[in-house]
Amino acid sequence: MRSDQPVRCRFEGELATLIASKQSFRDLPARYALFDALADLERRAKSAGAPDLTLRKIAEIRFLTGILRESVRPFPVASLRTVLRARERVDRRRVPASEAADLDAV
């Protein structure tokens, strides 16, 4: 067993816990909090002398989290199918132009 294994296990375990707790969320403050927690973990791992492999893992996940925190929509988006169904309902309720002209003549 190498001397750097306990350091790697501790930080990689903490990294796994952070990621597992944030599998799916749309809350903007939570995305920023995850990025900040990863940045803090990276600083602590560097100061504790964590192996390069562990530091690279943390840095890569922090980088991707930084991209995703800005790009994920904080609100649900309707699927295309839902939009098309709603449009069909509106179209069915709409009065055809020929019928509208008849109503105007009255």
Residue 43: per-residue pLDDT:
94
**Sole residue written with tokens 């199918």:** 81
Residue 58: per-residue pLDDT:
92
Q: Which domain holds residue 63?
A: 5-75
Answer yes or no: is 35 within a domain.
Answer: yes
10-residue averages of pLDDT along the chain (106 residues): 55 80 68 89 92 91 84 65 82 68 57
Answer yes or no: is 57 within a domain.
Answer: yes
Nearest Cα to 63, choosing from 47, 44, 42, 45?
A: 42
Residue 45: per-residue pLDDT:
92
Number of domains the chain contains: 1
Nearest Cα to 51, choosing from 18, 5, 19?
A: 5
Residue 28: per-residue pLDDT:
73
Answer yes or no: is 99 within a domain.
Answer: no
